[in-house]
Structure 1
Amino acid sequence: MQNLNRVVKDDLFTGVQRIAVFRALQLGDMLCVVPALRALRAAAPQAHITLIGLSWASSFVRRYHRYLDELLVFPGCPGFPEQPARLHEMPGFLAEAQGRRFDLAVQLHGSGAVSNPLTVLLGAKRNAGFHAPGQYCPEPAAFIHWDEREHEVLRYLRLMDHLGAPAQGEHLEFPLTDDDHASLRRSHADLPAPGSYVCIHPGARMLTRRWLPQRFAEVADRLAASGMKIVLTGSPDEAEVVQAVHGAMRMPALNLCGRTDLGGLAALLAQARLVVSNDTGISHVAAAVATPSVIVSCGSDPGRWAPLDSARHRVIHADVACRPCMHQVCPIGHLCAYEVGADAVAELAVHLLDGEGGTQTINVTTEMHP
């Protein structure tokens, strides 16, 4: 095995002209592999790199054009819950992928239990990625074991290092353009000055990832009372929860929910003094633009998803036995949200605003009730 691994490290990228990267996931998941893409591009600077991803990721490829050259849209198939499976499109998708004659296909889509067989169907000369114990491993020298507890950023850097693509830094990034800043300016005629406001983002795609609107409102009121302006953010689909926070507040706030595209929202976060959010894609955007944040982790695994920069970000979560959770609606009372109090979150936020240190992840001890 050692000899095989040495061959991988020495020869995997030699002569490689066409690389496929399979990761058909949403924004936060995609941001977490940017460091791995950065390492891959450094190891294969002349290669044409194709992302096999969801249709929304056309904008991701444009933003990260230094690392990715194009998107091939994955139509979905059984076992991939991110979108409905369009099985009638699979033959055409596979024919197009195989017609690209990829030299290498890299599976960055989970443990490989369902993604490895599909990656092999892309028809690349070689395959690399992760595999779980006892599961299908297409090429032992180029696949490494999946560790469910590993941090999402570090796991993909570990794979890149194994393949001979050393890390080019662990940091996230979100390149901002003139269009992003123009989009932000169009969102409201009287935006607060940079550094004078806190962004409160109470939404999340999964309902079980959302902390309580009333408690977001309490935190926002306390920060407003300390002199900060409050800006509420969210996608159009999150308008209801953002309005619930706005309606529960006693202090004034600017509601920009649904009024910015992703680039404009990132520009807004980049100029904020602080972001308070759930553990969702926006928390990774805040990390990528280096804005301090307080993240309430409901349902997810903070050890896997917390920002690596412990000087700038704080994560708070209740230590319940049922996390990580993949329920859309909690069947047992949403303890992971109710056990995190507004005072604790507000105190973390105030400490960050004051420039005080502290531990990165705060556990709220609770009991798991039947």
Structure 2
Amino acid sequence: MSAPVSICLLRTSAIGDVTHVVPLVRTLQQAWPQTTLTWIVGKLERKLVGDLPGVEFITFDKSAGWAGMREVWRTLQGRRFDALLQMQVAMRSNLLSVGIRADRRIGYDRARAKDLHGLVVNERIPARSGEHVLDAIGSFCEPLGLKQTGVRWDIPVSDEARAWAAEQLPGDTPTLLVSPGSSHALRNWRPERYAAAMDHAATRGWRVALVGGPSPAERALADTVLAACKLAPLDLTGKDTLKKLMALLDRAQLLLTPDSGPMHMANAAGTKVLGLHAASNPDRSGPYSDRRWCVDKYDEAARKYLHKPAADIPWGTKIEYPGVMDLIAVDEVIERFDAFAKSQE
């Protein structure tokens, strides 16, 4: 088919999912370099991807409610796209898409659609189960006649951010970054378990750095982790930005984290991830490129809390129950760390 003149991408959040859109942008740019790409993205998320070359970004401030939607609609007034890729099924995003004019409105298949998604699209991506979220997002180019066969990020990071990261993590000492918090609190591991794993890494001669956002909840979690550590790590909590975190990740060898935005940022940066998975399925939402170093207790969680093996529950089911992350033992995390450390020798 001939190249579209213009495509609008709608995926406003969250950080991890926004990183999954970047390879789709690269696929579209490679196939159709003359096509105008407009991405409607969240205010925070734009700080991570908003400098991707060749893309027009329009910020949606969800905290502004209806005023935020109207601002997006005003910005797009008088414009019509050849295609809208509606990659977010939440009610807010479905309502936002109503004010975006497009000839082709491509959305999720019926099994993955919700919150009246079917009313705002006129085409759907292929129905598939068992896909990683990144592959599902990548399939949005298929109704347009393309196929995402490669995955590339290359998210820009400024020299200033890289210089700051080099000041925090100088030299070439092997470094473990620990990002303990998820936006879903039930995915978080116990602070004392993080501390035990961090102390082990330190005794192995690794530099250990704690990272996290500036929110009171993340500061409180970091303080609890620090209080439990016998060997004090470097505390960078609240000191970085999204771009600075990308630069830190680029200097680190491994990130320890639950299912969270930093997990997917690390994957995009090419940094290996020791992911903690019990509440979510790593095959669906773990680090896309390499899940060898993850601890996977998802099936055990399904059997304990849902009384079925993971193979018998709907793909993408979240098992966010109190105590679910306690299924991950410190020894299991240490075993994965040691295996990774050995692979680096």
For normalisation by structure 2, the TM-score amounts to: 0.84
CA separation in 2, counterparts of 1:44 and 1:137?
A: 29
Tell me if 1:152 matches 2:133. Answer: yes
1:30 is matched with which residue: 18, 34, 45?
18
**Structure 1's 354 and 174: CA in aligned 2 closer, same or farther, altered over 3 A?**
farther
Pair 1:273–1:118, CA change in 2 (3 A) = closer
Kindly indicate whether residue 283 of structure 2 is the aligned counterpart of residue 303 of structure 1. Answer: yes
**Pairing 1:212-361 to 2, within 5 Å after superposition:** 212-237=190-215, 238-310=218-290, 313-318=293-298, 319-321=300-302, 324-325=317-318, 330=321, 334-355=322-343
Percentage of identical aligned residues = 26
Match of 2:85 among 106, 119, 131: 106
Distance 1:259 1:176 in 2: 16
- Aligned residue for 2:108, secondary structure, equals strand
Cα 1:164–1:116 shift into 2, 3 Å = farther
Provide closer, same or farther for how the CA distance between residues 315 and 85 of structure 1 changes in structure 2, counting only shifts above 3 A.
farther
Aligned residue in 2 for 1:211: 189
Query: Match of 1:73, SS?
Result: strand
Contact 1:195–1:271 (8 Å) recurs in 2: no
Deviation at 1:131, TM superposition (A): 3.3
| 1:32-75 per-position Cα deviation (integer Å, ceiling 9, x unaligned) | 12111111222331122111121223323433224x22x22235
Letter of the structure 2 residue corresponding to residue 177 of structure 1: S
Distance 1:147 1:211, change over 3 A: farther
Q: 2:158 aligned with 1:177, yes or no? A: yes
User: Structure 2: which 5+ residue stretches go unaligned?
Assistant: 307-316
- Give runs of aligned pairs for residues 52-201 of structure 1, distance below 5 A: 52-66=40-54, 68-69=55-56, 71-76=57-62, 84=63, 86-110=65-89, 115=93, 118-133=96-111, 136=118, 142-147=123-128, 149-185=130-166, 188=168, 191-201=169-179
Match of 1:366 in 2: none
Change (3 A) 1:183 1:26: farther
Aligned-partner Cα distance in 2 for 1:174–1:27: 13
The alpha carbon displacement at 1:273 in A equals 2.1
Q: Aligned residues, how many?
A: 325
Question: Structure 1 length normalisation: TM-score?
Answer: 0.78
Whether the 8 Å contact between 1:235 and 1:258 is mirrored in structure 2 is: yes
Tell me how far 1:310 sits from its aligned partner: 3.1
Q: Is the 8 A contact 1:197 1:274 kept in 2?
A: yes
SS at match of 2:289: coil
Contact 2:16–2:264 at 8 Å: present in 1 too?
Answer: yes
Q: Quick check: 2:47–2:243 contact (8 Å CA) kept in 1? A: no
* Contact kept? 1:38, 1:168, Cα under 8 Å: no
